[in-house]
């Protein structure tokens, strides 16, 4: 779950990392009032995407009048697929140089990785490519936590940055990461001011989705993924549904089999209408799942692919057969069924719908693609 700048910065501030004074507002009038309090300011669009600056969503304002006009311009603006509904109005900071700092979960070392570079203000990929010698990538043993001496020993050339101040800031950053089940916590840019202070000018925080259940209060401040109506409906019953552009509906169990069914549809010249898996404990929800797939009017045929391991094919098939009889959809459906409970499941489909499941997925998919055309 991603947190926008306005929701991420308070986490830094609570740990003692300095962020510019400012407020989140939803109108030009409110922006004016904030600017009157803090003076020369920056008006920053708050949307869950990284391309705000390039899109014209960040502007300097020397006076309250300018803050008013810039806020009026930015509010309502379209950035990527998002409409700007709120802006952060923050005091301007006298910048001497821009730095980069982050802590993230690293699959290669299987540990938290502390990243720091005196070259900031650009993407980390760019820093890694253009200034690899200036990028510290230090894995931390999560059992022992942040070790200031080890970090100090691994820092690159710092220029005018005070080493003790920087190590203290990184330690705070690590604390915020550890306390909040972060997947990624990034300050970019971290700025060195002309007064020699370190200030977090921006902040990106991604909460580990598997950490949400022990961070419920925190998660309320995150930005939920933008969803379609059907996606929202599926999430409400704990189903993973993603709407796609095609016309062959997909109902399968397990993320792997579902993705593979989509791949096969695409390989045989069709286009999948959705991702929807009912694996894990969700395998009992096949009736709800079918209703959601069929609610998409683009669906012209349906491919049902069950490969039971943990999930039982008989339970899934029973749900689908019952729902099919109840909904009486006017489209053809194609089955392949194998694995735990397959014999009973095949019998249910035969008796309930008078259909014969295919032995091979490829054959069933080819038929489903043809039927959708």
Give the interface with other proteins as residue ranges (CB under 8 A): 105, 107-108, 110-112, 125, 141-143, 178, 181, 183, 208-211, 213-214, 240, 242, 244, 252-260, 262-267, 272, 275, 277, 279-280, 307-311, 338-340, 342, 359-362
Enter the tokens of residue 136: 């510290």
| Nearest residue (CB) to other proteins, 62 versus 142 | 142
Nearest distance in Å: CB 280, other proteins: 6
Q: Give the gyration radius of the chain's Cα atoms.
A: 26
The neighbour count for residue 191, using CB atoms within 10 Å, is 23
| Nearest residue (CB) to other proteins, 69 versus 260 | 260
Query: What element of type H or E holds 113?
Result: strand 111-117
Nearest distance in Å: CB 362, other proteins: 5
Nearest distance in Å: CB 14, other proteins: 19
Nearest distance in Å: CB 200, other proteins: 22
Nearest distance in Å: CB 298, other proteins: 15
| Nearest residue (CB) to other proteins, 46 versus 258 | 258
The CA distance from 366 to 344, in Å, is: 25
| Residue recorded with tokens 């032995």 | 359
Nearest distance in Å: CB 8, other proteins: 18
Share in percent of the chain as helix, strand, coil (round to 5): 40, 25, 35
| Nearest residue (CB) to other proteins, 27 versus 266 | 266
Find the DSSP H helices in 92-248.
Answer: 124-130, 148-154, 163-179, 216-219, 229-236
| Nearest residue (CB) to other proteins, 61 versus 182 | 182
Among candidates 145, 151, 222, 174, which has minimal Cα distance to 15? 174
Enter the tokens of residue 58: 């960040």
Q: How many CA atoms are closer than 13 Å to the CA of 209, on its beta-carbon side?
A: 4
| Nearest residue (CB) to other proteins, 55 versus 212 | 212
């Amino acid at each position: 779950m991603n947190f926008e700048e306005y929701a991420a910065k308070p986490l830094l501030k609570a740990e003692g990392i300095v962020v510019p004074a400012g407020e989140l507002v939803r109108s030009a009038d409110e922006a004016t009032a904030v600017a009157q309090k803090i003076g020369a300011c920056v008006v920053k669009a708050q949307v869950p995407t990284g391309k705000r600056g390039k899109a014209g969503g960040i502007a300097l304002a020397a006076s309250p009048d300018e803050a008013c006009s810039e806020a009026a311009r930015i509010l309502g603006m379209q950035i990527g697929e998002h409409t700007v509904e709120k802006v952060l109005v923050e005091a301007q900071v006298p910048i001497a140089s821009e730095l980069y700092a982050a802590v993230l979960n690293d699959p290669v070392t299987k540990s938290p990785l502390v990243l720091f570079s005196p070259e900031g203000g650009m993407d980390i990929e760019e820093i890694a490519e253009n200034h690899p010698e200036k990028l510290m990538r230090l894995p931390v043993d999560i059992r022992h936590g942040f070790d200031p001496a080890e970090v100090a020993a691994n820092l690159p050339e710092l220029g005018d940055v005070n080493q003790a101040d920087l190590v203290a800031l990184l330690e705070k950053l690590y604390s915020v990461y550890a306390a909040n089940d972060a997947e990624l916590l990034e300050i970019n840019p971290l700025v060195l001011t002309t007064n020699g202070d370190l200030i977090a000018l921006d902040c990106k925080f991604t909460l580990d989705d598997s950490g949400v259940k022990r961070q419920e209060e925190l998660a309320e401040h995150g930005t939920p993924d933008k969803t379609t109506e059907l996606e929202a409906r599926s999430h409400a019953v704990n189903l993973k549904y993603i709407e796609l552009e095609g016309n062959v509906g997909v109902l399968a169990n397990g993320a792997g089999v579902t993705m593979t069914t989509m791949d096969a549809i695409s390989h045989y010249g069709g286009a999948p209408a959705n991702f929807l898996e009912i694996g894990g404990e969700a395998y009992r929800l096949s009736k709800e799942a079918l209703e959601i797939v069929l609610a998409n009017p683009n669906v012209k045929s349906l491919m049902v692919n069950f490969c039971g391991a943990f999930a039982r094919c008989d339970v899934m098939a029973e749900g689908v057969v019952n729902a099919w009889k109840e909904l009486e959809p006017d489209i053809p459906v194609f089955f392949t069924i194998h694995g735990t409970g397959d014999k009973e499941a095949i019998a249910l489909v035969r008796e309930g719908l008078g259909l014969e499941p295919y032995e091979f997925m490829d054959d069933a998919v080819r038929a489903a693609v043809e039927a959708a055309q």
